[in-house]
Structure 1
Amino acid sequence: MPPRSRSAAAAKLPVTATFLSLALLLLPLGFLATHRTFSGGVAESTSAAEERHRVLLAGNDDGNADAAAAAEHAAAVDRHCACTLHRDVCASTLATIPNLARKPLRDVISDVVARAAAAVRASSSNCSSYLRRPQGLCVRDRLALSDCLELFGSTLGQLGTAADELSAGNRTAEESIAGVQTVLSAALTNQYTCLDGFAGPSASEDGRVRPYIQGRIYHVAHLVSNSLAMVRRLPQRRRRGREALEGYGRVRRGFPSWVSAGDRRRLLQQQGAPPAVADLVVAKDGSGNFTTVGEAVAAAPNNSEARFVIYIKAGGYFENVEVGPEKTNLMFVGDGMWKTVIKASRNVADNSTTFRSATLAVVGTGFLARDLTVENASGPKKNQAVALRVNADLAAFYRCSFVGYQDTLYAHSLRQFYRDCDVYGTVDFVFGDAAAVLQGCSLYARRPERGQKNVVAAQGRTDPNQNTGIVVQGGKVAAAADLIPVLANFSSYLGRPWKLYSRTVFAQTKIEGLIHPRGWLEWNGSFALDTLYYAEYMNRGPGANTSARVAWPGYHVLTNATDAANFTVRNFIQGDLWLNSTSFPYTLGLS
């Protein structure tokens, strides 16, 4: 209760006490027995006196009611905030929500999400004002601020999706909790990605940019984190329908209901064969609609509910390609790995941000790609240089290869699936904070720079309530051709903790002898060793022996299928709700 109400309640108590004391003194003198009383020298009837008495007592009742309401509100704040990581932020947020004690949990979460959206808009305005300054910013800082503005835009969309899912009359709040967790997890990841853009060798020497913006960004992150914690308390029932999120379409005979028979045929073509009907064709020799992939993406319809197929003929396409959020349900079909190649060379050493360095960046929901290669050709000396970045939900890749050195595959956020793909790299070459499953994929460690160690996975979960992680199921971890001759000179590891709650699982995978017996590498001393979750389950091969593995509290050797099943396609990325529509092969459970 606000202090003003407490003061008012306290002021009423002496008045009531005085009246009661006077009544007790007058009772022996027989005043009350006359059925009359006096007020200001004027005689009153008994009924009038009783009314005055009732009013005075009602004042006391109001005070008691205010106190009870305050206690009830405080109890509700304590109840909702008990599970959160940022209780002070939670308490201040919920303190001003009316009727908190009587609100359903999903409505409380919606209120917190709304506060987060308002905070995002304030943070975006703050970054925009800094970006408009005519001087004092280096190229890298301007790029990082631009990344932040893009990420804030994505965040607002994700918070809007969460609000829709939680809204009154929308039963998915209880039946599709995974969908709400997914978009809130991505919204949280976006805040830290923004801040990560200011780290690195090319960041401002005076450090003025990050301190100027980080307070508001952390506030957004804390609000989203608290909403995630509350979502974990919602009843979790699996929806009966076959739909991942509202609006994506019901699945019928393995495809969304809006996919036509013709679309189904084109999605089922064999490797190396052009699609029976492509909406657009890209060809270097001019035999298609366009000669660049970027032109074809720009020509694709926005916000499409039908699959739109771009066939990219064999050849090398030297360009950076961005599939924006408005390009939904887009599909790239190539002529095969190493035949259709999209290649570029942005990198951090040359003043790009990691986020912006991607050769192919995908944001549009429902993106598919098959039978092509994406490469960042910067080379091993250029630090972070991403080949593929995906921050799109329900994205899937089949028979694709991703080639780079450090930070090759940036599985940034949301739900992703990779089947029978190859990934080449050195340091942290599969990284990010998506819920990503790589099934039947080959992960090849290349020859790194002198003094470097190869690390396959650097997962970036920042919050224990995020439903994110990197899962490698089936396939293999092996040395690339350039590493094999010098294998004895370099150590290779399965992963290291990029962020505090890093989560990575290798299951039923062939691990070759390049992997160090310890298996896993520290990021920086004891950082995250207690809070990470790393696990291995039924792997095989000379590098799969767990007897000499690290003894960190967060490392686990899984021995039963029930625990391992949490990280399958069905349970980890809800693949049974959307992968049928891709035409790509997949295994829902353990092999």
Structure 2
Amino acid sequence: MGDSDDSSKRKIAVLGVSSLLLVAMVVAVTVGVNEKVDERGGGGGTTAELSTSSKEVTALCQPSTYKDTCEKSLAKSAENTTDPKKLVQVGFELAADSLRESIKNSDTLKEIAKDPMAKRGLEICDELLETAIEDLGRSVDELGSFDMTKAYVHLDNLKTWLEATVTFQENCKDGFVNTTGPAGDKMREILKTSEELTSNGLAMVDGLAKIFASFKFGGSRRLMEAQSEFPSWVSPAQRRLLAADPAGVQADMVVAQDGSGQYKTIMQAISAIPKQHKIPFVIRVKEGIYKETVLIPKSAEGIVMIGDGQTKTRVTGNKNFAAGVQTSDTATFAVVAPSFVVRDMGFENTAGAEGHQAVAFRSRSDNSVVYNCAFDGYQDTLYAQAYRQFYRDCSITGTIDFVFGTARTVLQNCKLIVRKPLPNQACIVTAEGKKDPRGDSAIVLQSCHISADPAYFPVRHTNKAYLGRPWKEYSTTIVMNSVLDDLIAPEGWLPWQGDLGLNTLFYAEFENTGPGAAQGGRVAWKGIKKLDATQVEKFTPGKLYVEGDAWIRVTNVPYVPGFMKS
């Protein structure tokens, strides 16, 4: 007993120091914006004046990508206050100010942008950067409430939100691909400061997460997860909500085209959600083809949407990139509110292969659960843009990159059906977009089935299909315990452009079956990994969602946290 107590005390002491290190490390990076702001504004400060960084500062900045900026900026900011929390607040406020300055600059660029796509790209940047500012703000709050008994929760939230800020800035820049004029180059220059900030911040938090992992603080973590199995607002009745027959669900709103509900369109219902609504807030969408563009806004947190079935309740649209619409704007159904849950619905974009990028469903919903839904399109069907998302028993059809994005995404027991592309086009199932190596985003296909639809089947060996390609440098995709039909080319994976990401991506296949799972002809890039069961296990949802999977279990959808059999 005595030895155990001493060990526990030592562990608590070390973790207490680690908590302080977290604050200090985040300070080290977040105040890095200070130097950049001064450089733009002529606010003084020579290299000599910034040379007060100590060995401790150097150590704190060691994990960061932009070490010089980190060290100089921390030394300068340390002259003003020694209160760690105040420094964190100042650092993130400076980061937010930097992003606000970017928004102001984008407003100026709008006046000179003649290309309509570039002008719309700038507007999208505004919205994305505002969201990044919000994520920085809640990161400040998370640090302020840091509780060592819930360390994994705090660290996972911080990593999720900081990676999202990296993602949104990258998404902003992506909006200028194939546009004309100077707006894209100017925006890339404007974002340099905030990109350095968020990358360094993510590196610092990732470093601390590894410290916790090295101490194997697993017992307390399991206790923490057991104590927080369900959120406090969830009643036993609400836990059974998604297990019920949709017809018998007591909904807060009903949408029905035949007039049997309060609203005839989904957007009418969304617009009528009270600002101070209860959570969960249930919307029943009865059978029908809903030809509308739907956006669930940030304010609509905790919405549960229930249809009558994948083929019965359908939301359809046809916006597409070929018609001059930005990719994110092509989504038939988009959700940016946290804790969105949906079941028994279908979402489609009917633009066809000739429409190029044409999204059926775009999600930026943190802790989102999607069950028994269908997503039908061609290129870019399902856009899992950011945060943490779980899909179970879903069907996704498409041609190119038809599951893509930078969320921590698990598709469990789903069907991925490849459709016939345009002549001379290859088909690619996934395109994961991790930009920063410290992020945890990934696309995980677990116990899924990849097959060809009837129209594609005759040309599957001419228009070859691949498991994925790297949208960004650190693209991460795992295919495990899945059935791969013979449409998958022997090479398995396809480059994006040249050698982009081939050495830095992280792709793995584990215990898949079917003729398309044969490994003999697979590409031999440096980023292709051969993993054992222990290594692959961290990509199962019970491990990938580091803080635990209570937000999935609370919905009562069918769910396996660990391995599933093929």
Q: TM-score, normalised by structure 1?
A: 0.81
On the 8 A contact 1:228/1:465 being kept in 2, the answer is: yes
Residue 109 to residue 484, structure 1, CA distance change in 2 (3 Å): farther
| Structure 2 residue 92 is the aligned partner of structure 1 residue 113 | yes
| Structure 2 residue 190 is the aligned partner of structure 1 residue 211 | no
| Structure 2 residue 509 is the aligned partner of structure 1 residue 571 | no
- One of 425, 446, 450 as aligned partner of 2:423: 450
The residue identity in structure 1 corresponding to 2:201 is S
- One of 167, 172, 184 as aligned partner of 1:194: 172
Deviation digits for residues 108-132 of structure 1 (CA, Å, limit 9, x no counterpart): 766543432221111112112333x
Deviation digits for residues 553-577 of structure 1 (CA, Å, limit 9, x no counterpart): 110122x211011101011124523
Q: Output the CA distance in 1 between the equivalents of 2:429 and 2:317.
A: 22
- One of 225, 228, 231 as aligned partner of 2:199: 225
Q: Which residue of 2 aligns with 1:87?
A: 67
Q: Output the CA distance in 2 between the equivalents of 1:250 and 1:566.
A: 22
Residue 403 to residue 92, structure 1, CA distance change in 2 (3 Å): farther
Q: Output the CA distance in 2 between the equivalents of 1:589 and 1:375.
A: 31
Q: Output the CA distance in 2 between the equivalents of 1:175 and 1:208.
A: 42
**Could you say what secondary structure the match of 2:500 adopts?**
coil
- One of 362, 387, 404 as aligned partner of 1:431: 404
The residue identity in structure 2 corresponding to 1:150 is E
Deviation digits for residues 359-404 of structure 1 (CA, Å, limit 9, x no counterpart): 1111111001100100011111011111111111001100001011
On the 8 A contact 2:471/2:496 being kept in 1, the answer is: yes
Pairwise CA distance, 1:258: 1.2
Deviation digits for residues 279-315 of structure 1 (CA, Å, limit 9, x no counterpart): 1111111111111111111112336451011111111
Q: Output the CA distance in 2 between the equivalents of 1:269 and 1:242.
A: 30
**Could you say what secondary structure the match of 1:543 adopts?**
helix
- One of 548, 557, 570 as aligned partner of 2:521: 548
Q: Output the CA distance in 2 between the equivalents of 1:94 and 1:468.
A: 29
On the 8 A contact 1:243/1:578 being kept in 2, the answer is: no
- One of 267, 281, 296 as aligned partner of 2:242: 267
Q: Output the CA distance in 2 between the equivalents of 1:552 and 1:303.
A: 52
Q: Output the CA distance in 1 between the equivalents of 2:74 and 2:189.
A: 20
Q: Which residue of 1 aligns with 2:78?
A: 98
Q: Which residue of 2 aligns with 1:161?
A: 138
Q: Output the CA distance in 2 between the equivalents of 1:114 and 1:243.
A: 31
- Alpha carbon RMSD of aligned pairs, Å? 2.4
**Could you say what secondary structure the match of 1:125 adopts?**
helix
Aligned residues: 507
Q: Which residue of 1 aligns with 2:364?
A: 391
On the 8 A contact 1:492/1:516 being kept in 2, the answer is: yes
Q: Output the CA distance in 2 between the equivalents of 1:590 and 1:113.
A: 39
Deviation larger for 399-408 or 170-179: 170-179
Q: Output the CA distance in 2 between the equivalents of 1:110 and 1:461.
A: 27
Deviation digits for residues 67-88 of structure 1 (CA, Å, limit 9, x no counterpart): xx98772323322222112223
Q: Output the CA distance in 2 between the equivalents of 1:561 and 1:372.
A: 34
| 1:50-61 aligned within 5 A | none
| 1:496-511 aligned within 5 A | 496-511=469-484
Q: Output the CA distance in 1 between the equivalents of 2:101 and 2:333.
A: 30
- One of 283, 286, 300 as aligned partner of 2:273: 300
On the 8 A contact 2:52/2:75 being kept in 1, the answer is: no
Q: Which residue of 2 aligns with 1:38?
A: none
On the 8 A contact 2:481/2:511 being kept in 1, the answer is: yes
Q: Which residue of 2 aligns with 1:359?
A: 332
The residue identity in structure 2 corresponding to 1:129 is T
**Could you say what secondary structure the match of 1:585 adopts?**
coil
Residue 184 to residue 119, structure 1, CA distance change in 2 (3 Å): same
Residue 147 to residue 515, structure 1, CA distance change in 2 (3 Å): same
| 1:5-404 aligned within 5 A | 73-98=53-78, 112-131=91-110, 133=111, 136-167=113-144, 170-171=147-148, 172=150, 176-200=154-178, 203-204=179-180, 207-234=181-208, 235-236=211-212, 237=217, 240=221, 251=228, 255-270=230-245, 273-302=246-275, 304=277, 306-404=279-377
Deviation digits for residues 161-200 of structure 1 (CA, Å, limit 9, x no counterpart): 2111112664455653111100111111000101111113
The residue identity in structure 1 corresponding to 2:104 is S
Q: Output the CA distance in 2 between the equivalents of 1:293 and 1:122.
A: 36
Pairwise CA distance, 1:217: 1.4
**Could you say what secondary structure the match of 2:516 adopts?**
coil
The residue identity in structure 1 corresponding to 2:170 is Y
Q: Output the CA distance in 1 between the equivalents of 2:477 and 2:92.
A: 28
Q: Which runs of 5+ in 1 are unaligned?
A: 1-68
**Could you say what secondary structure the match of 2:135 adopts?**
helix
| 1:416-495 aligned within 5 A | 416-495=389-468
On the 8 A contact 1:304/1:329 being kept in 2, the answer is: no
Q: Output the CA distance in 1 between the equivalents of 2:278 and 2:58.
A: 44
Q: Output the CA distance in 1 between the equivalents of 2:524 and 2:134.
A: 41
Q: TM-score, normalised by structure 2?
A: 0.85
**Could you say what secondary structure the match of 2:54 adopts?**
helix
Q: Which runs of 5+ in 2 are unaligned?
A: 1-48
Q: Which residue of 2 aligns with 1:523?
A: 496
On the 8 A contact 2:113/2:119 being kept in 1, the answer is: no
On the 8 A contact 2:239/2:555 being kept in 1, the answer is: no
Q: Output the CA distance in 2 between the equivalents of 1:108 and 1:564.
A: 39
Q: Which residue of 1 aligns with 2:40?
A: none
Q: Give the percent of matched residue pairs that are identical in Structure 1 and Structure 2.
A: 37
Deviation larger for 486-495 or 408-417: 486-495
| Structure 2 residue 533 is the aligned partner of structure 1 residue 561 | yes
On the 8 A contact 2:240/2:555 being kept in 1, the answer is: no
Q: Output the CA distance in 1 between the equivalents of 2:527 and 2:91.
A: 31
On the 8 A contact 1:113/1:227 being kept in 2, the answer is: no
